[in-house]
Amino acid sequence: MEQNSSNFIRTIIKEDLESGKRNEVVTRFPPEPNGYLHIGHAKSIIINFGLADDFNGKTNLRFDDTNPLKEDQEYVDAIKEDVKWLGFEWEELRFASDYFEEMYERAVLLIKKDLAYVDDLNADEIREYRGTLTEPGKESPYRSRSVEENLDLFKRMRAGEFQNGEKVLRAKIDMSSPNINLRDPVIYRVSHAHHHNTGDKWCIYPMYAFAHPIEDAIEGVTHSLCTTEFEDQRPLYNWVIEACEMESKPQQIEFGRLNLINTVMSKRKLKQLVDEKYVDGWDDPRMPTVSGLRRKGFTPGAIREFVEATGVSKGSGAVDTAMLEHFVREDLKLSSPRTMGILKPLKVVITNYPEGQTEMLEAEINPENPEMGSRQIPFSREIYIEQDDFMEDPPKKYFRLFPGNEVRLKHAYFIKCEDVIKDENGEVVEIHCTYDPETKSGTGFTGRKVKGTIHWVEASQAVPAEFRLYEPLILDEELNSEENEGKTFLDHVNENSLEIVNGFIEPNMKDVKPQDKFQFFRHGYFNVDPKHTAEDHIVFNRIVSLKSSFKL
């Protein structure tokens, strides 16, 4: 975050430091390792690390691993990689599971203070007893158990004497509180599950709402930033800190989630897309995950600029993906080499060019960044152009190639279409042209003008390449609000979200490396795909096309 862009959280922190309420800033990014990070998490990361950075504070990466059934080491590793790639270094790497023993002790303390009890009601009964927004809850018949009985039962829960769901530990707060979160929330449950960190040591696990404030307090977090859906939990957060007698008192502050139109952004749904093979993994370039964006070719700088531009507030409207694309264009404009690639090839024979001859032409690598120098591209009697750049029977205002018309070949000569060769089905298979040697690019030819400029690749040396072109994976702008009429988001998956075409690139690109980025003349920015690119097979992902109607 830039120093100068103020927001309400920064204002709170500044005041806390000035008033002496705090003398340092400690934040944390607390993902649950139950999926890969998405761009919404990137926002949380940038806010947490950015704010701490601005005030010379520190930020921990802490995994909220309190639900072993959904969590996995694969996710832990992926999350660490993504945070680093975004450009952040955590102060300490922590796990909620590091604190299981202390959490247990704090729960025992609550029992001793008669602020927690073991309940035998099952999940359905607990829900029934909880009441509604308009009706108060009902107290469980087990609420009045003695401290001794509760201590004994809780110890036996830990020892594994009970089955999943048979008993829970609940905070004893207020069953008639207007805030449902305070109606004796469950704070421990029995779950005979193997944990990726603690193995089989535990068969009871703390609930998030109990664990999270304790984790923050243990780490000395000063400002615990989370999204607005936790606003109603803040009284419980504060209750846990006080009742458990935590020395350090973190302050929870909520900000609005980032949502993108035409995008699902919950790990549960993203996991479903992966599990049911709508995509080829969490890092599929159509996914809004950090790893998907990376594979598509987005840069950390573009993501940071984008998040900065969305601001920090309590609101959470859905942002247009075009805004994210705007920032990647800006980021790549000066740094990525320009080149020519043919996505859907059509052969052109230049009949008056000497057979067997090849000449090298010079082309600038990036006209907006002359320091990048120039490249050599071969030209000869046979080239490929784009199928779309030829029409046998064009409409008015079509300025590209058609019978009798002359166009400029980028970096080369004018060519004129003389003849069209078709196969037995009437499909155009080859165009015959003549070129005018006087019109060579860079020689200052002014004899006549042509209206169209098209790109091309010399045929004999062209390197085959696969191009992957993307559309939004989900087609429904209202998805984030409601799922209507029994439809789920899966009913809105775009069947045309991926188009694969095979074409050619300039020979000087034969040694490109995964994650190299280029601007292909007229086609947009592309990234060399790290998953499918092999020794003899180059695959490009289109990051973004060149133009957009988006205005910042």
Footprint on this chain of Mg ion (rule: CB under 5 A): 32
Which CB atom, from 274 or from 433, has the smaller least distance to Mg ion? 274
User: Least Å distance between CB 105 and ligand ATP?
Assistant: 25
Residue 266 sits in the site that holds ligand ATP (CB under 6 A) = yes
Closest CB to ligand ATP among residues 211, 383: 211
Q: Determine the interface stretch with ligand ATP among 115-123, 215-223, 260-268, 411-419 (rule: CB under 6 A).
A: 260-268
Of 269, 334, 297, 328, which is closest to residue 473 (Cα–Cα)?
269
Least distance from C-beta 221 to ligand ATP, angstroms? Answer: 12
Give yes or no for residue 267 binding ligand ATP (CB under 6 A): yes
Active site (annotated) includes residue 466: no
Rounded CA-CA distance 75/72 in Å is 6
3-state secondary structure 363-407: EECCCCCHHHCEEEEEEECEEEEEHHHECCCCCCCCCCECCCCEE
The least CB distance from residue 314 to ligand ATP, in Å, is 12
| 32 labelled catalytic | yes
CA-based nearest residue to 202, from 76, 64, 98, 72: 98
Question: Considering only CA atoms, which of 321, 320, 326 is closest in space to residue 305?
Answer: 326
Paired with 406 in beta bridges are 416
297 is in an annotated binding site: no
Please name the amino acid found at residue 186: V
Confirm whether residue 65 is marked as ligand binding: no
Applying CB under 6 A, the span of 125-133, 169-177, 264-272, 540-548 interacting with ligand ATP comes to 264-272
What's the CA gap between 502 and 376, in Å, rounded?
23
Pick 32 or 91: Cβ nearer Mg ion: 32
* Cβ 266 to Mg ion shortest distance, Å: 9
C-alpha 277/C-alpha 225 separation (Å) is 34
Report helix, strand or coil for 132: coil
d(CA 292, CA 297): 9
From 249, 231, 238, select the one nearest 21 (Cα to Cα). 249
Q: Is 226 in the site for ligand ATP (CB under 6 A)?
A: yes
User: Cβ of residue 174: shortest distance to ligand ATP, in angstroms?
Assistant: 26
* Per-residue x/- track, 44-83, ligand ATP (CB under 6 A): x---------------------------------------
Q: Annotated catalytic residue: which of 22, 267, 468, 522?
A: 267
Catalytic residue among 257, 296, 375, 542: 257
Interacting positions 25-44 with ligand ATP (CB under 6 A): 30-32, 40-41, 43-44
Could you tell me if 326 and 550 are in contact, meaning their C-beta atoms sit under 8 angstroms apart?
A: yes
227 among annotated binding-site residues: yes
Please name which of 42, 9, 498, 513 lies closest in space to residue 304, comparing C-alpha atoms: 42
Would you tell me how many other CB atoms lie within 10 Å of the CB of residue 506? 25
> According to the annotation, is 40 in a ligand binding site?
yes
Amino acid identity for residue 308 in this structure? E
Task: CB nearer to ligand ATP: give 265 or 340.
Answer: 265
With CB atoms as reference, the residue minimizing the distance to Mg ion is 32
> In which order are the strands placed within the sheet that holds 168-171?
116-119, 168-171, 186-190, 204-206
Instruction: Compute the least distance from the CB of residue 364 to ligand ATP, in Å.
Output: 41
257 is an active site residue: yes
Give CA–CA dist 531/380, Å, rounded.
34
Task: Decide which of Mg ion, ligand ATP, none touches 512; Cβ closer than 5 to 8 Å per partner kind.
Answer: none
In the numeric block, which tokens belong to residue 500?
């694969």
Q: Which does residue 41 touch among ligand ATP, Mg ion, none (CB within 5 to 8 A, set by kind)? A: ligand ATP
Judged by CB under 6 A, the number of residues near ligand ATP is 14
Binding site for ligand ATP (CB under 6 A): 30-32, 40-41, 43-44, 226-227, 257-258, 265-267
- The binding site for L-glutamine comprises 64, 208
Binding residues: 32-34, 38-44, 64, 208, 227, 257-258, 265-267
Hey, which residues are catalytic here?
32, 257, 267
